[in-house]
A = this chain, B = another copy of it.
């Protein structure tokens, strides 16, 4: 059984595309909480409000880390998606974290980011452009077969 963690961009449905494409392969997928508001506010929502925005963010980031760490540490493969917008430093952080743990890393990114992501890509075993390519890799890893 393959365990795959899907890190990074949370504004498109790429996780669903991969999960649907990989349906029936017996893969277990994990991911961060993709509800942006919940992810930002989980710390203060549960543990109490903070006056200072910095600590508001900090409490949330630490609660999210419980889920993220478990997801990465249990994964055989970590897919990190970089989108078109935002800083996405948490995605690059997850990639570094996964690389240091020796996880098999797949980067999913548009070609325009190639130069900026070259250090991240250098730690990866595959750089994909589309969710379908990620599905094809997972199928090959699990079933040993190639598309068409």
Name A residues whose Cβ lies closer than 8 Å to a Cβ of B. 2, 33-35, 38, 41-43, 45-48, 50-55, 57-70, 76-77, 82, 86-102, 104, 106, 113-123, 125-129, 133, 136-137, 140-141, 144-147
Given known contacts A87-B113, A99-B97, is B64 in contact with A119 (CB within 8 Å)?
Answer: yes
Chain B residues within an 8 Å CB radius of A147: 45-46
Chain B residues within an 8 Å CB radius of A64: 119, 122
Taken together, the copies of this chain in the complex come to: 8
Chain B residues within an 8 Å CB radius of A136: 45-46
Docked Cα-Cα span, A64 to B29, in Å, equals 20
Tell me the nearest residue of chain B to A41, going by C-beta: B146
Given known contacts A51-B51, A63-B126, is B96 in contact with A140 (CB within 8 Å)?
Answer: no
Given known contacts A55-B52, A65-B125, A146-B38, is B92 in contact with A96 (CB within 8 Å)?
Answer: yes
Chain B residues within an 8 Å CB radius of A101: 100
Chain B residues within an 8 Å CB radius of A62: 122, 125-126
CB distance from A73 to the nearest CB of B (A): 8
Tell me the nearest residue of chain B to A64, going by C-beta: B119
Given known contacts A41-B146, A100-B97, A140-B63, is B90 in contact with A126 (CB within 8 Å)?
Answer: no
